[in-house]
Structure 1
């Protein structure tokens, strides 16, 4: 409701969000607890449509958690700190003061799970979290901010999160607003080899999200230098030990496994179908994150996200989320004014943590088709793809909206270390900017175009 260069005035409904000010510090309070403003997120939302404010990410106002607080007339709370951005009056701010406490619905080591016609208005971590489950369906499960309470937040973390699952994951006719992180995250887990113990045993590093191996499971050895899957090994048993996990194989692993290698559970990777969902800009970060070598189908959804609508990653450095893809179809979706905040690199982002060394480096992901979609976009960046072999971007309709000022790289399709790329038959507005593709660490023959309006190809400019 007010601000200057050095303070921010907030109107906080004390009945909905109890608080106190002690020793110049704002605390939110509950039953036998109190907590200060945290250092993460603290996002801001437009007063009218409650969308995340254009071109903002986390902590857009500055170090609000270090503010000194005072109670003003009319019950206003004044926070004293240097403002890095001055919000419009009426802007809503979600102040996060705790993280990852407990999921709304938690599914663990179960099978044939069906959730339908459920609204989740708030959860202290993930809305629906699943670990090591088989065959899950979410139909009309909405993770949404409570409109009646004028809220802009729902979950503290991801709306849904699936780790180490198998069988089939179906997400149909679901909607998300207000989530503290991505709409969907589906992945496995890499297990780093700490030590080779014998000709049949290794020690794996401890990890609180470790999905483990069972007797009879198959494991890929993943070479960390190239992130390529190599030999397939059979698991005889797993034991918990003080320094991690001891894994025993039926094969002799001499000259196969070494310290620093990664293991990936082949059996704990699902097929995925995501359809008829609405992924709105009224939540933090991205839309769909998926890394699974199973059959992945993303179709007939509506995306209006703050960050990338779809992110296909693969991580060997921070979270160790595995699952280099082998069969992904992104078809018949509508992407409207996505990527208004810099979570990602474009509307669709494919960025495994491996960076190709040169134009002959093997690709991490394989066989991704982006076809028959409608992109209603205000900026250049439609697709950013790194380390993909066999990538198709065709038969898409591209419409210029002019809704926001552009901020991204001045390129529609950015390709880094990709192989066997096909682009063609995309229908593009005359006013749409760019009509171009940049290539990096690729041969000219790695990109083929067809149709009457090929994109202009040039070396990457960054």
Structure 2
């Protein structure tokens, strides 16, 4: 039988506004000291956690702030560290975070399950401003914008300062002015969210508050605004924390969690094995006036292995991709000898964590073609630890067991092909997404089935492989997309688009892609757009066309493609009703 702990045994009082961080830390420490299974329970109620007494760790996390020393130390509200066989259970418990924090982190742990909790921020770091009224009065345009009750602001002349709470130190957690650095726009009538320009603070004459939640903005011009009802979601672009973190851990399950807001870069599973996200909600609280549930992505797997599972979840209102699963290409910068490679992290938002262990298999690719030119096994490695800055944070040196070709520097990239997961993404709903629904690049088996993609701003499913911009590796070899619904995506419903600049159908980047029994409702975009892919099978899919007619399938430098159009599996009109295939070089 597991040992049972209750956070109230450590002085934590549900419903109190007293900082629960010290008591929660003591409860987690006690749970970690027990040999054998432990259940730690949060009774129903609200728990407030402030950053002043939060656990802090120096951590380097993929796709956040790279090696920027200003943000190397993360505040963590709920830290599980070097702990095995732990269940954290909290049905009806709501953890309210203050300031800037990571909601939870599971580090160096095995067999951990977190279930039933709700996470939210007292003051979200995204400002959702709804145009509640607009028009022209006395020859000048105006808007009345309404912000959620959780949003803090002050009007200062003809400007608005948005800000977080005042911490115990006296400092304000965060602040920014007017449109901040980034905006996306939600249209609740059309059910679409997209990136775009923000006109709220252009040519402003005056700003004044109207009550507690409304602000009137008057302009120097008389052009009547045409955006009544739209929501402008504004934020900075610094991903200083991961929203949640599973780091160097295995057999971790996140179950029935409700993420009402995630600051920073979503829930990141990094260099971990066998991680599942099941039955979770990523959505703002009902009737809160808020739209944005995430500052960036919702879920990311980076350099993971074993099985990555995301099933039965709702993804509603991110500021980037709901799911992204990838490895990391490292650029070859030097070659001291035939068995030694000098590597670096080329993207400014990713650096500082280890990539290899002795015995890992690596593959070198030509960056222009993304074709493998050599492979080897790692013998020794000098690299950052991911936890400290005592080693260089952007460079890695590896030695391998075999002689490599000459002249690799600059033109090649390296991927750790040992740290690649199998993937299952099933029965999820994607809604109010400005970008893609799912990004996935892994050479092991991928199954994406029975999901619903509603009006994504770009592709529903995007498969890249990129040694040029984001450096997210690698190719797909076994990808099945089955039984999904794609409702009016803003780009190709399924987009296979590696970044190779030289393509040859005889040497594809991707292979083994099956698209079957899906339903597509499309307006001016193809069901499938594929580049440099071998062995595509497109069968028993139903396609309904709205508005502009375009080819159902676009192929670029593809080979061995099989398309079946003799039925629609009872899902709308068969693909053959409209132009079927466009070959493009």
After TM superposition, the score normalised by the length of structure 1 is 0.84
Task: Tell me how far apart the structure 2 counterparts of residues 83 and 232 of structure 1 sit (CA, whole Å).
Answer: 65
Give, in whole Å, the separation in 1 of the partners of 2:237 and 2:204: 17
Whole-angstrom distance in 2 between the partners of 1:326 and 1:3: 55
Other structure's SS at 2:287 match:
helix
Residue 195 of structure 2 corresponds to residue 58 of structure 1: yes
Match of 1:437 in 2: 581
Does residue 218 of the first structure (1) align with residue 361 of the second (2)? yes
The secondary structure found in structure 2 opposite 1:303 is strand
SS in structure 1 at match of 2:257: strand
Task: Report if aligned partners of 2:203, 2:221 keep a CA contact under 8 Å in 1.
Answer: no
Q: SS at the partner of 1:197?
A: strand
- Residue 375, structure 1, aligned to residue 509, structure 2: no
Q: Is residue 2:350 matched to residue 1:199?
A: no
Alignment of 1:52-451 (within 5 A): 52=192, 57-62=194-199, 64=201, 70-71=207-208, 75-78=214-217, 80=219, 86-206=225-345, 208-209=350-351, 212-240=355-383, 242=392, 244-253=395-404, 255=406, 257-280=408-431, 282-306=432-456, 307-339=458-490, 345-357=491-503, 360=505, 362-400=507-545, 402=546, 405-406=547-548, 410-425=550-565, 426-427=567-568, 429=573, 434-441=578-585
Q: 1:447 — aligned with what? A: none
The Cα of 1:7 is off from its aligned counterpart by 5.5
Aligned counterparts of 1:213 and 1:6: Cα–Cα separation in 2? 62
**CA shift at 1:135, angstroms?**
0.3
Separation in 2, partners of 1:376, 1:184: 22
Give the match for residue 459 of structure 1.
none
Higher alpha-carbon deviation: 304-313 or 80-89: 80-89
Q: Provide the rounded CA distance (Å) in 1 between the counterparts of 2:222 and 2:452.
A: 35
Q: Structure 1 stretch 238-247 or stretch 225-234: which is displaced more? A: 238-247
Q: Quick one: distance in 2 between partners of 1:369 and 1:83?
A: 54
Structure 1 CA distance for aligned equivalents of residues 202 and 239 of structure 2: 18
User: Residues of 1 paired with 2:466 and 2:144: CA distance?
Assistant: 39
- Indicate conservation of the 8 Å contact 1:332/1:373, yes or no: yes
Deviations along 1:56-105, one digit per CA (max 9) or x if unpaired, are x3224458588676216565231758899944422222122454232332
Tell me the CA shift for residue 123 of structure 1: 0.9
Aligned counterparts of 2:282 and 2:261: Cα–Cα separation in 1 = 8
Q: Which moved more, 1:270-279 or 1:34-43?
A: 34-43
Is 1:9 the counterpart of 2:143? The answer is yes
Describe the superposition over 1:157-178 as per-residue Cα deviations: whole angstroms up to 9, x where unpaired: 1111111001001111011101
More deviation, 143-152/234-243: 234-243
Structure 2: distance between partners of 1:412 and 1:37? 43
Aligned partners of 2:199 and 2:551: how far apart in 1? Answer: 31
Instruction: Output the CA distance in 1 between the equivalents of 2:449 and 2:223.
Output: 40
Structure 2 contact 141–224 (Cα < 8 Å) conserved: no
Q: How much has 1:362 moved relative to structure 2?
A: 1.6
Cα distance per residue 1:338-362 (max 9 Å; x no partner): 22xxxxx41111111114445x452
**CA deviation digits over 1:299-340, x for unaligned, max 9?**
11111132211001111111100010000000111222222x
Give the drift of 1:8. Answer: 5.4
Asked if the contact 1:367/1:389 (under 8 Å) is kept, the reply is: yes
**Following the alignment from structure 1 to structure 2, what is the Cα–Cα distance between the partners of residues 270 and 85?**
52
Moved more, 154-163 or 197-206: 197-206
**Any unmatched runs of 5+ in structure 1?**
340-344, 442-462
| TM-score, length of structure 2 as denominator length | 0.67
Q: Which moved more, 1:425-434 or 1:389-398?
A: 425-434
**What is aligned with 1:446?**
none
RMSD: 2.9
Tell me how far 1:378 sits from its aligned partner: 3.5
Cα offsets for 1:170-192 (capped at 9, x unmatched): 11101110111111000001010
CA distance in 2, matches of 1:212, 1:320: 14
Pairwise CA distance, 1:204: 0.8
Q: How many residues align?
A: 425
Structure 2 stretches lacking a partner, 5+ long: 1-132, 167-171, 384-390
